[in-house]
Amino acid sequence: MTNESVLRAVDDDARRQAGSLLRTGRSAALATLEPATGMPLASRIAIAPDFDGAPVFLISRLSPHFAALEASPGCSILVGEPGRGDPLAHPRMTVVGEAGILVDDAHRAIARHRFLGRHPKAALYVDFADFAFWKMNVQRASLNAGFGKAYALTADDVLMDLSEATSLIEISCDTVDHMNRDHADVVALFATKLLGQPSGAWRIASLDSAGMDLTDGDVVRRFWFERPVPSGEDLRELLVTLAGKARQIAG
Amino acid sequence: MTNESVLRAVDDDARRQAGSLLRTGRSAALATLEPATGMPLASRIAIAPDFDGAPVFLISRLSPHFAALEASPGCSILVGEPGRGDPLAHPRMTVVGEAGILVDDAHRAIARHRFLGRHPKAALYVDFADFAFWKMNVQRASLNAGFGKAYALTADDVLMDLSEATSLIEISCDTVDHMNRDHADVVALFATKLLGQPSGAWRIASLDSAGMDLTDGDVVRRFWFERPVPSGEDLRELLVTLAGKARQIAG
């Protein structure tokens, strides 16, 4: 999407940065087409990453972007917060695709859990009749990692391959609940010792084959595993190992 | 742009909140139409308010949004940062209009000054041949001030009437430079005493008939005058009065 002469070759660092932006963003700007005028409209949505990293968002039928997506599902989202200093020095990514309402009950339940892990206050309205979960089926993305660092990414570059992750998807929500409920001390060490974050009310927001996303309610931080774990059993073993490692760092 | 049943009647509070969002935003999400596909694209831009509040932005011909706006000037921008906690509890506004390159030299000089007041690092590339200042000619806006607080605004609601401000526009840039260079102590008191901000490297980013915008390099805060000042002389008198008031608060 950027002039080709300024694009860099896509490497694993760019892919990981793209994955981190998708998995740590709490909100995004959504660009849709206004049905009556065809004008491009930018609006704010709260987001969460599906297991594969694709953006999921909960929106109301009363909002203009809901009607816009029903009329024309092609859209894009901008992720990556500007932060302090020069707003264009901070990495951001435009993700392009088609959005659709999540209708499969099992898929919706997982998306709901991952969304509420990041947006607990949405529990107040998540089950209202006028709200629905949408997922973007990603087609491509444009990563801008700062001046002169632009990458054109494919869907495969930014999303996780789920072909071997089925059993892990199934148990991931229960594992998150178990860790947050029964091992809050370990979760706190993950945040402070493995990720170097200040102490706070850290919880696991979501788990996937390649890492875990921790939140204190204001920010989300991602811990990438050294290598993806194929099964639920591998994940549990890894969490025990990481707990030991975090305790060791804590001394 | 929002379902009419949830819209509130526009009042002066909504107009002022809209003006503050336009004048304190340092960056925005820009929604444009991708020429090759017609897809709506969201990208990040650095912004500054023109004297009347309309968004001005500096972009490069190498960027995809430059080409998109050349092909199709209809666009929108989303202003208002999500901040801490629930990202949808923070006010934001979608501003819709048509963007055009600023070609008038005098107008460009004022926009350049106001832009660099907020983005001093852009001095490195502001005069490069591939960069141009664009201004959005605002048509309407949609303000979302939090759950259940949506307003449909006209251009007149969000922009300042410039019919009596000509002499003030001419001297506003020089007045900003003079205050920042010769009265940095007063500017610091404006920020800490009139606006209740923590101490920092505060400067005036821009002045207009209705208020002044102060920045510490990371945030912009607006001070609204009690009533608009019609001339440069009135503005100088008001700044002297405000300096006295700020010193009095400082004790």
Residue B125: CB atoms within 10 Å = 12
Average pLDDT, chain A: 94
**pLDDT-derived band of residue A165, with 50, 70 and 90 as boundaries?**
confident
Residues 6+ positions from A46 with CB-CB distance below 8 Å:
A26, A27, A57, A58, A115, A118, A119, A122, B86, B87, B88
Residue contact B44–A5, C-beta within 8 A:
no
Stated length of chain B: 251
| Exposure string for B147-161, b = 16+ CB within 10 A, e = fewer | eeebbbbebebbbbe
Q: Which amino acid is at B146?
A: G
pLDDT per residue over A100-151, tens digit each?
999 999 999 999 999 999 999 999 999 999 999 999 999 999 999 987 789 9
Cβ atoms of B130 and B137 closer than 8 Å: no
Exposure string over A107-139, b if 16+ CB within 10 A, otherwise e: bbebbbbbbbbbbeebeeeeeeeebbbbbbebe
Do residue A39 and residue B74 have CB atoms under 8 angstroms apart? yes
Inter-chain contact A81–B76, Cβ cutoff 8 Å? no
Q: From CA A168, how far away is CA A239, in angstroms rounded?
A: 13
> Is B41 touching A (CB cutoff 8 A)?
yes
Out of B27, B31, B39, the one facing A87 most closely (by C-beta) is B27
The two tokens of residue A153 are 């990414």
Which chain A residue shows the shortest CA-CA distance from B33? A40
pLDDT at A3 > cutoff 70: no
Please state, in angstroms and rounded to a whole number, the distance separating the CA atoms of residues B190 and B204.
Answer: 9
Q: What is the token pair recorded at A99?
A: 């959005």
B40 in Cβ contact with A69 (< 8 Å): no
Q: Is B42 on the interface with A (CB under 8 A)?
A: yes
Sheet holding B203-208, edge to edge: B203-208, B211-215, B220-224
* Cβ-based contacts under 8 A for chains A and B: 141
Say how far apart CA A224 and CA A207 lie, in whole Å.
10
Please report the residues numbered 106 through 145 in chain B whose beta carbons come closer than 8 angstroms to any beta carbon of chain A.
119, 121-122, 142, 144
Residues of A in contact with B119 (CB under 8 A): 86-87
Is the pLDDT assigned to residue B235 strictly greater than 60?
A: yes
Chain B contact probe: residue of A32, A47, A94 with most B CBs at under 10 A: A94
Burial code of B2-19, b = ≥16 C-beta within 10 A, e = fewer?
beeeeeeeeeeebbebbb
The secondary structure of residue B127, as a DSSP letter, is T
- In terms of Cα–Cα distance, which of A234, A181, A189 is closest to A214? A189
Nearest to B77 by CA among B55, B58, B59, B60: B55
Q: How many CA atoms lie within 13 A of B75 on its CB side?
A: 33
| Tens-place pLDDT, residues B169-182 | 889 999 999 999 99
For residues B25-30, average pLDDT: 96
The amino acid that residue A235 corresponds to is: L
**Rounded distance, CA B188 to CA B30, Å?**
33
Give A150 to chain B, closest Cα distance, Å. Answer: 10
Residue pLDDT, tens place only, A182-220:
999 999 999 999 999 999 999 999 999 999 999 999 999
Report the relative pairing of strands B220-224 and A131-144 from DSSP bridges: unpaired
Looking at this predicted complex, what is its ipTM? 0.94
pLDDT in tens, B92-142: 999 999 999 999 999 999 999 999 999 999 999 999 999 999 999 999 999
Confidence of residue A5 (pLDDT cuts 50, 70, 90): low
pLDDT of residue B2: 52
Checking if the pLDDT of A6 tops 90, the result is no
pLDDT digits over B178-214, tens only? Answer: 999 999 999 999 999 999 999 999 999 999 999 999 9
Q: Of chain A residues 213-232, which have a CB less than 8 A from chain B?
A: 217-218
Residue range A26-51, pLDDT digits in tens = 999 999 999 999 999 999 999 999 99
**pLDDT greater than 60 at residue A91:** yes
Q: Are A134 and A69 in contact (CB under 8 A)?
A: yes
Instruction: Name the minimum distance, in Å, from the CA of A40 to any CA of chain B.
Output: 5
* pLDDT score of A1 more than 50: no
Rounded distance between C-alpha atoms, residue A54 and residue A19, angstroms: 9
Which of B37, B44, B82 is opposite residue A92, by nearest beta carbon? B44
| Contact status, residue B59 vs residue B38, Cβ threshold 8 Å | no
Q: What is the pLDDT of residue B1?
A: 45
Number of Cβ atoms within 10 Å of the Cβ of B174: 12
* Banded model confidence at residue B3, pLDDT cuts 50, 70, 90: low
Q: How far apart are CA A115 and CA A124, in angstroms?
A: 13
Q: Do B80 and A44 touch (CB under 8 A)?
A: yes
